[in-house]
């Protein structure tokens, strides 16, 4: 390893001071954000809110200081489905209800994983992965399906938001501290009392976890009445629902018809094969998180087929790069970090996954698309969950070039897939390691 020598720093400084572009950059950055200084207006005119396909949906929600985007995105489609059935333009579902049971199930799942690995060394990479990651708010499509199939859903007024459901940082920190304590304590108990003692210990932890969640989120409803005013101005009430019966009546098995398709162009993940990730899940005994890897061209074809039928698309992207979150624009052509700082952060998509430069971290819904004269997509309309004071009343735009580089997942109705694609999806999946980038969660 080579050290930094002062003589070399002197040379670098002299070179820097002779470059006028560096002086301009330093002056520009002394009073403003790097992204603001790097923003280019050359492509702004192309990113207006006009689309060839523009599906009308209910208003945008706000996940606030929580990582529940995947739940909010899924609820967008579910509440539109219910709204059409009962004749209501805007129907509100309880995201908090789904989040409560997701967190409870994740805690159980993680403790079971720690028990399963109890005989491994504490510094084994899998054990360290489990204790470092713990549980959080984030999730995947199949994890959403697991929760609603088991626990159902309910209207927002049957299970309202609390301060903690909107602000989860402290609760998550406390729960993860308990998980790490369990990991240590379980090994000590096993040495003294065997696995029966470990199971008893787990039950004591789960009891405390349940009590903490109820205190923070509220008591989950066992029964409720559906009350609403329809689009004709008539008040309606349907009595005696449970969350499960409500889900069965208005949604049923519909969510099971969707397939998670990904674009992971790495050398270790051939296209047209299915994949899962070890220890990625929430419900023990539920369906595994499973993806069908497809080329981006094919993924776009499927997304467009669904949009053309008037159905929005749940999808996952990496929203950490090339974004103006107040204007509501993600466009890699609008930010020139190379000219400003001589930093070229662009990488091949597959390499960016392999070397952890990028991974899916946020789920939203595609509700529209614009085409050029050749019929190719140029930009996509996105329904986000960051409130209606960003973008255009909460809706965002993604350029097609940004979409190619940073979109990793889309959930597609299986009727749009070919027989060959469905057969590949149904095969036993390749099991990826717990830390594979395709195991990242949307939050």
The pLDDT tens digits of the residues spanning 58-80 come to 999 999 999 999 999 999 999 99
**CB-based contacts of 429, cutoff 8 Å, min separation 6:** 273, 274, 275, 276, 288, 290, 291
Res 46: pLDDT: 76
Supply the pLDDT for residue 135: 98
- Quick check: is 8 catalytic? no
Look-up: residue for tokens 């299970």? 159
Q: What is the pLDDT of residue 421?
A: 98
Long-range interactions of 22-29: CB distance < 8 A, separation 24+: 25/340, 25/341, 28/340, 29/340
Out of 61, 282, 361, 384, pick the active-site residue: 384
Q: What is the mean pLDDT of residues 317-329?
A: 94
- Selecting among 69, 75, 261, 365, the annotated active-site residue is 69
Task: With cut-offs at 50, 70 and 90, classify the pLDDT of residue 345.
Answer: confident
pLDDT given for residue 307 in this prediction: 98
Look at the chain and count its residues.
443
Confidence of residue 90 (pLDDT cuts 50, 70, 90): confident
Tens digits of residue pLDDT in 136-178:
999 999 999 999 999 999 999 999 999 999 999 999 999 999 9
| Lowest mean pLDDT across 35-49, 177-191, 226-240 | 35-49
Say yes or no to pLDDT of 410 above 80: yes
- Tokens for 28, please give them: 């520009």
Asked if residue 44 has pLDDT above 70, the reply is: no
- Residue 21, judged by CB atoms within 10 A of its CB (0-12, 13-18, 19+), counts as exposed
Encode pLDDT of 286-305 as tens digits: 999 999 999 999 999 999 99
Cα four-point dihedral sign 278, 281, 285, 290:
negative
* 43 has pLDDT over 70: no
Q: Please give the share of the chain, as a percent, with pLDDT higher than 90.
A: 94
40 — pLDDT class (breaks 50, 70, 90): confident
Based on the residue annotation, tell me whether 261 is a catalytic residue of this protein.
no
Closest CA to 242 of 152, 157, 144, 145: 152
Residue 431 has pLDDT above 70, yes or no: yes
C-alpha separations of 202 from 92, 121, 228, 340 in Å:
36, 20, 42, 54
pLDDT digits (tens, 9 = 90+) for 200-239: 999 999 999 999 999 999 999 999 999 999 999 999 999 9
Q: How many angstroms separate the CA atoms of 248 and 148, rounded?
A: 10
384 as an active site residue: the answer is yes
Nearest to 316 by CA among 260, 379, 399, 259: 260
* Whether residue 351 has pLDDT greater than 90: yes
Q: Report residue 45's pLDDT band, with 50, 70 and 90 as the boundaries.
A: low
Return mean pLDDT, the chain.
96
Q: Bridge partners of 432?
A: 277
Does the pLDDT at position 265 exceed 90?
yes
pLDDT band at 372 (very low <50, low <70, confident <90, very high): very high
């Amino acid at each position: 390893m080579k050290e930094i020598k002062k003589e070399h720093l002197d040379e670098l400084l002299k070179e820097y001071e002779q470059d006028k572009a560096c002086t301009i950059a330093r002056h520009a950055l002394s009073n403003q954000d790097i992204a603001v200084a790097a923003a280019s207006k050359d492509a702004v005119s192309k990113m207006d809110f006009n689309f060839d396909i523009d599906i009308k949906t209910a208003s945008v929600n706000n996940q606030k200081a929580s990582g529940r985007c995947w739940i909010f995105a899924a609820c967008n489609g579910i509440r539109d489905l219910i709204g059409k059935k009962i004749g209501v333009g805007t129907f509100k579902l309880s995201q908090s209800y789904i989040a409560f049971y997701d967190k409870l199930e994740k805690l159980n799942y993680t403790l079971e994983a720690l028990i399963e690995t109890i005989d491994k060394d504490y510094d084994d990479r899998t054990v360290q992965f489990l204790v470092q990651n713990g549980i959080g708010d984030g999730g995947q499509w199949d994890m959403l399906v697991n929760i609603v199939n088991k626990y159902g859903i309910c209207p927002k007024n049957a299970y309202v938001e609390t301060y903690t459901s909107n602000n989860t940082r402290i609760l998550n920190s406390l729960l993860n501290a308990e998980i790490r304590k369990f990991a240590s304590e379980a090994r000590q108990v096993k040495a003294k009392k065997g696995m029966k003692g470990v199971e008893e210990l787990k039950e004591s932890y789960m009891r405390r976890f349940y009590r903490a969640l109820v205190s923070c989120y509220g008591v989950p409803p066992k029964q409720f009445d559906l009350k609403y005013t329809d689009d004709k101005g008539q008040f309606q009430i349907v009595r005696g629902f449970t969350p499960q019966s409500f889900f069965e009546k208005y949604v049923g098995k519909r969510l099971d018809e969707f397939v998670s398709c990904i674009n992971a162009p790495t050398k270790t993940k051939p296209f047209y094969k299915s994949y899962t990730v070890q220890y990625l899940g929430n419900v023990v005994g539920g369906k595994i998180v499973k993806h069908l890897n497809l080329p981006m061209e094919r993924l776009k074809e499927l997304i467009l087929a669904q949009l053309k039928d008037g159905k929005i698309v749940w999808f996952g992207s990496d929203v950490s790069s090339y974004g103006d979150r107040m204007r509501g624009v993600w466009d890699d052509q609008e930010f020139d970090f190379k000219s400003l700082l001589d930093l070229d952060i662009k990488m091949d998509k597959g390499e960016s996954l392999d070397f952890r430069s990028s991974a899916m971290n946020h789920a939203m819904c595609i509700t529209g698309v614009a085409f050029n004269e050749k019929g190719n997509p140029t930009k996509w309309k996105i329904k986000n969950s960051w409130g209606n004071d960003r973008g255009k009343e909460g809706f965002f735009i993604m350029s097609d070039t940004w979409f190619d580089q940073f979109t990793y997942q889309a959930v597609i109705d299986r009727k749009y897939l070919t027989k060959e694609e469905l057969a590949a999806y149904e095969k036993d999946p390749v099991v990826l390691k717990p830390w594979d980038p395709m195991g990242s969660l949307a939050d």
